[in-house]
Structure 1
Amino acid sequence: MSKIAKSIYRVLFVSQGKLYELYARDIHQDDLYGFIEVEELIFGERSSVLVNPAEEKLRNEFADVKRTFIPINSVMRIDEVEREGISKIRPTEGGDNVMPFPQPLMPPNGGRGKD
């Protein structure tokens, strides 16, 4: 009997001046234009003797979340990995003084030159 392993993805994205690293089993572009849908978030086992405070903070933040939609322009990277790691939140490099201004996915005139 063959056992089909489901893919695991590491998602890195920026939100509110922090770099989030999450692990999930399902990621796809949704009908909601400009967003990536992330489902089945994975966190470490709670039965572990040691508790990681950073991962526990993320677990609490996403406690009742069935799926989350992340703006495409906030996503830094998505990797398919062999196994999940520790989810974490880190400050972005350079401090919180400068935040990138959200850019439109398409130029205002639809990418056409001036008429």
Structure 2
Amino acid sequence: MSKAPVYRVVFINNGKTYEIYASNVSQGALYGFVEIRGMLFDERTSLVVDPGEEKLKAEFEGVMATHVPVHAIIRIDQVEKRGVAKIGDAKGNVVTPFPLPKPDNSKS
């Protein structure tokens, strides 16, 4: 019996790095976007609560799928088990933009 895959997705959003866990990550139907479905958050039964994870849980409450631009993705890992979702500071230039061709300004 195989376990359902768990993915750790790290991306940039409004100058912050988001690290979330999901059960489904794919290219999706929107060109240039990665579709993330089935966000996984810890169902805490103890009194210890991580405020960062609670903030993410509240932000994605009721969201069936989120679409993140490809250029905002830092990495996607398939992991053995879910970790703690968190928001961190994006210090420095953590994402190298994909090189685009320079426009041809010559007139024919």
Q: Provide TM-score, normalisation by structure 2.
A: 0.85
- Does structure 2 retain, via aligned residues, the 8 Å contact 1:14–1:20? yes
Offset from partner CA, 1:24-80 (integer Å, 9 cap, x none): 000000121000000000000132331110000000000010010000000000000
- Structure 1 residue runs of 4 or more that deviate by more than 4 Å after TM superposition: 103-106
Equivalents in 1 of 2:37, 2:102: separation in Å? Answer: 31
Offset, 1:106: 5.5
**1:92 paired residue number:** 90
Choose from 68, 71, 82 the match for 2:69: 71
SS of the equivalent of 1:31 reads coil
- Does structure 2 retain, via aligned residues, the 8 Å contact 1:12–1:20? yes
Number of paired residues?
106
- Does structure 2 retain, via aligned residues, the 8 Å contact 1:34–1:105? no
Choose from 74, 80, 83 the match for 1:82: 80
Judging changes above 3 Å, is the alpha-carbon distance between structure 1 residues 38 and 85 closer, same or farther for their aligned structure 2 residues? same
Q: Which runs of 5 or more structure 2 residues have no equivalent in the other structure?
A: none
Could you tell me which amino acid in structure 2 is paired with residue 64 of structure 1? G
SS of the equivalent of 1:73 reads helix
Equivalents in 2 of 1:25, 1:107: separation in Å? Answer: 35
Identity of aligned residues (%): 39
SS of the equivalent of 1:6 reads coil
Across the aligned residues of Structure 1 and Structure 2, the Cα RMSD in angstroms comes to 2.7
Choose from 39, 42, 67 the match for 1:41: 39
Q: Provide TM-score, normalisation by structure 1.
A: 0.80
Q: Which runs of 5 or more structure 1 residues have no equivalent in the other structure?
A: none
- The 5-angstrom pairing of residues 57-68 of structure 1 reads 57-68=55-66
